[in-house]
Amino acid sequence: MRTIGEAGRRKAAIEVARRLRAIRKARGLTTTTFGRRLKLSQAQASRIETGQQGLRSAVIVRACSVLQVSPAALFIERPLAKALLKSPLGRKIPGLKYVV
C-alpha cells in the first residue's frame, strides 16, 4: 500500500481549503458570516480557508451544511465532482478547478 507523505497531506489540505473558500464566495457569504454560522471566529474561518488551520471532521460537516454541498464536493477530484460542485442553479462555481 502506498502512503502519502506530509507534503502530500499538506497539498491536499490546501486544495480542500481552496475549494471551501470558492464555494463560500459563490454562496455570497463573508468570512465573518461563515465563521459565525460555523460557530467560529472570522479569524478562524479565514485560517481554515487559507490552510493555516486544520479542518476537523465536525467543522467539515457544519461547513457543508452551511454551504449546502456534499462533503464529497471538497475531496473528490473526478468528473463526479463537476456535479457536486455546481451551484444550486446549476452553474459552475467560479474559481474552482474542475479536474477531469
Task: Give CA–CA dist 58/62, Å, rounded.
Answer: 6
Query: What is the C-alpha R_g of the chain?
Result: 13
Kindly state whether residue 79 falls inside one of the protein's structural domains.
Answer: yes
What would the pLDDT profile of 17-73 be if each residue is shown by its tens digit?
988 999 999 899 999 999 999 999 999 999 999 888 888 888 989 999 999 988 888
pLDDT average, residue stretch 67-93: 64
Phi, psi of 43 (to 5 degrees): -65, -40
pTM above 0.75, yes or no: no
What is the grid cell recorded at 25?
464566495
Q: How many domains does the chain have?
A: 1
Q: Decide if 61 is inside a domain.
A: yes
What's the CA gap between 26 and 86, in Å, rounded?
A: 10
Maximum C-alpha span of the chain: 42
Q: What is the CATH number of the domain that holds 42?
A: 1.10.260.40
